[in-house]
Amino acid sequence: MGLFDIFRTRVKEVAENTDEDELSAPEESDEAEAALAEREQLEQETAEAEKAAETETASTDDWEDIESIEPQAPPSPPESTEEVDDWEDDPAPEPLSPTLSKKERKKAERERRQQEKERKRLMKQG
Q: pLDDT tens for the chain, 126 residues: list them.
A: 789 999 999 999 998 988 877 778 888 889 889 999 999 999 999 999 998 888 777 665 555 555 566 667 666 666 655 555 555 566 666 666 667 788 888 999 999 999 999 999 999 887
Q: Give CA torsion, residues 30, 35, 40, 41, to 10 deg.
A: 100
CB 78 within 8 A of CB 72: no
Q: How many domains does the chain have?
A: 1
**Domain assignment of residue 26, yes or no:** no
The reply to whether 112 falls in a domain is: yes
**Does 32 reside within a domain?**
no
User: Would residue 36 count as lying in a domain?
Assistant: no
Q: Which residues contact 96 (CB under 8 A, 6 or more apart)?
A: 105, 108, 109
Residue 40 inside a domain? The answer is no
The rounded distance, in Å, linking the Cα atoms of 59 and 54 is 9
120 is in which domain, residue-wise? 101-126
116 within some domain: yes
